[in-house]
Structure 1
Amino acid sequence: MIRIFITLVLLFFPFASIAQQTSINIHGTLFDCTAHNGQLVPIFVDPQSASAAAQLGGARVDWVPSFGWRMSLNIPMLNQAPPRSAVMVFFHECGHVALPVGVGTNSPLQEINADCWSVQNMVAGGYIQNMAHFQEAVQYVLQIGGMNGFTQYRIAAMQQCLPPWIQ
């Protein structure tokens, strides 16, 4: 119920009054998120957005009519997480909007697709270079239960997204 309330508040809150940015520093590294249409996704870190993001492990994305995609982050929560886990959470949420509609969102496989996008981008960015890095990234997320029902099944599916030289 509280999740629905927060989502409704976020949908109808006047976004023009909230400071937004298109890049964010997490553990000393600057990140941004580009949607499938090529536009940078605005990032919100205000207390209300941070509270909503905390429910899903520190990050969430939402589609807001007449505004478009937005990402909400809880920076203190992400910076308290191990660096690889924080990057995984950020990339996972970004994956929802970076992938086309029907793949990243509005799909029964949207969580697994965003997980895979996250892993592939972590490998490309050098955050996962071996299996120990992968295990480090997923362990924290598994412990906190973030990323919308993160389970051993999803971890096994994510491993399939790793290149053969890591598996």
Structure 2
Amino acid sequence: MVNIFTITSLSAFVFASTTSLLLVQTVTAKPVQTKKQVNQPILFNSRLQIYPANNSLPASRLITIEGVIKKSSKMQITEAKLTTYEEFAAKTGEYKSSISNNRMVWIVTGFVQGELRMAKGRSVCTDNAKLVELTDAETGDSFGRSIYCPPNNQMNFMP
């Protein structure tokens, strides 16, 4: 009878001690503070990113014109403009539901002298291709590029 009492007492003591320790840790624990960047893209369905509005951010939180031009090093830049996605979509007719109309974007326009191969080498613009690149002003993510070839300068290799 002494052995059962000792094992039971030991189990009760361990249980009480563990419970008290957990309770003390829960009551005295400080919340973990994390820096949340509110306007960063949100991953949706593990593939699609949603870009919320960020037009109220200070300019110091956006990519500078030098930073966006550095990414477009292959072209001779004619214009780089910081604007909202809504303005871009109104001018081009292109609209992505994953990007808020009040998202700040850089529109970089320029020309590439000489031959320009497009995706997978299937098409070639033989000379003076005009490029329009759309870049997120906060993250630097590319939202796409349009390539326009002057008449008689585009060759198509598609079968």
TM-score of the pair, normalised by structure 1: 0.28
TM-score of the pair, normalised by structure 2: 0.29
Q: Which has the higher strand share?
A: 2
**Could you say which structure has the larger radius of gyration?**
2
Q: Which has the higher helix share?
A: 1
